[in-house]
Amino acid sequence: MKILVVGNGFDLAHGLQTSYWSCLNFLYIADQGTRDFPYWRSRIWCDSVRRDIDVDERLENFSEIQIEFLKKYLIQFNSPNIKLVQDNGNSQINGILHECISDNLWLEYFWDVQKAHQKKGHKWVDFESDISEVIQKIDNIVKTAESNNWSLYNHEHDFFFESDFKKNPHLRVLGAKIIASIQKQFTYSSTNDEIKADIINQLYANLLKLTTAIEIYLKTCGMNFDDPFMGYLEIDHVDKVISFNYTDTFKMYMNNDNDENICHIHGKIREKLTSIYSPLVLGIDEYLSKEERDNDVDWVMFKKFFQRIYRHSDFKYKGWPEFSSSDEIKKSTTELYIVGHSLDVTDRDVLRDLILRDNQITKIFYRNSTQMANELKNLIRVIGSDELNKRCRSIPPSIIFVEQKYSYYWLCEDMTIDPSQ
C-alpha cells in the first residue's frame, strides 16, 4: 500500500502560485485597488507591451484567471455602474473577500513586514511562526501587567511600546492600533480581563477573516498546467493521500480518488463560499510548557490542535487498515511518501502519528541539500535524534531521503530555461 503525504511544496512544484508571499501580493492589490483605483487600473488594465515595461512586481506571476478576478473585484468596488457589478459573476465572493481584507490587523501587519523584507520565498510555516511570535509577545505583555497589578488601560504604561514592540517597527504599528482600540472602547474602570478578552477576540476574528481570504485566493490558483509531472517524484500512482494542503492537486497521482482514500488534515477549499467562516485550519504550535498549557487557555483558539478538534478536521487516516495494530496488518509493509512538507513542529502531533510506525518505509523527498538539512533538523525536533538515527541507519532503513527531479516550474525559477517556451 502506498500513501502520499503532501505539503505546499507539492503544489509549488506543479506550478501553482500557492506561496503565502503570492497570496499576500494578491490580497494587497485587492485591498489597495479600492483605495487607489487609478494606480492599479493603470497596471492591471494596461496592454501586454506596456505591462512588460511598466509592470508592478506584485503582478508578475499571476495567471490570466487571477488578473481577470482582480479586474472584476476592482470594478465592483469602484464602478458607479450597478449593472457592471451585477454582471461580473463574482459579486458574492467579492463581497466576502472585501469584508475579510478591509482593516484586517493581521494583513496590515504582514503587508508591512513584506514591504520591509522585500524578498520572496517565505513558507507557510514562517507565516505561522510570525503569528505565534506576535501572540506570545502580546501574551507576555498582558501577563506582565497582571503580575504587577497594572491596568491595561493606564496611559502611564505604554505596554505595547515596551521591549520588542518598541524595537520592532511592525510590532510598534500593530501595538499602536491595539492601544487605540482599547482607548476607544474602554475606560479607567474597565478590568484587565475585559480588555484582554477584547484583544484576543479582535485578533481571532481577524485571523478567521484572513483564513477565508486565503481560501478565496487559492480558489483563483486553479490547475494551470496540462501535463502532470509524475516523473519528478519517481513513484507510481498511490493508493491514499494525507494532505496538509487545502487544495487537491494530488488527485492526478491516485489509483482511486474516492473521498474515503483522501484525508485533508487541515480542511479543504469549499466548493461554494457563502460566508466568512472558513472550515480551514490556520494556526500555531503550542508554545506553553506542559505545566502551563492545561490551565492557561486564553489563546488556545489560535492553536492548531484546538482548531483541528473545533473545526472537525479530517482524521480518517486513523481508521485506515494500514494504520491498524492488527497482526495481519503488521505482516505487510506500507510505503509512505512525504513530499513538499517542511516537517516543522507546528504539525508535530500528526507527523509523529504518521512516521513512528513499524512495518513502514517512509520516503522523504527533498529538492536540494539545503532543504534536506532543514528537514533533518525539523525531524529531530519532531521525533528526537535517537529515533531519527535509529530509523535512518537501520538495515534496511525505515526512513529514507530521496532527491526529487526538478519540475518544469523549478527550472523556470532557476532561470535554466526560458519560462516563455
Q: Averaged in consecutive runs of 10 residues, what is the pLDDT profile of the chain (421 residues)?
A: 91 86 93 90 67 64 89 85 62 92 94 75 79 91 86 66 66 82 87 93 96 95 56 74 93 86 94 89 92 94 93 90 69 85 88 90 91 94 94 92 69 37 27
Residue with cell 532557476: 414
> For residues 196 and 372, what is the distance between their CA atoms, to the nearest angstrom?
42
Looking at residue 144, its pLDDT comes to 85
> For residues 177 and 203, what is the distance between their CA atoms, to the nearest angstrom?
11
pTM of the model: 0.87
Cα distances (Å, whole numbers) of residue 65 to 185, 218, 220, 223, 348:
42, 12, 7, 11, 36
> For residues 4 and 171, what is the distance between their CA atoms, to the nearest angstrom?
39
Looking at residue 160, its pLDDT comes to 57
Looking at residue 98, its pLDDT comes to 94
> Contact at 8 Å (CB) between 58 and 82?
no
Handedness of CA 345, 347, 353, 359 (dihedral sign): negative
- 345: closest CA among 287, 265, 387, 403? 287
Strand segments, DSSP code E, in 229-308 are: 240-243, 262-264
DSSP annotation of 232 reads G
Looking at residue 40, its pLDDT comes to 87
Looking at residue 329, its pLDDT comes to 57
DSSP annotation of 387 reads H
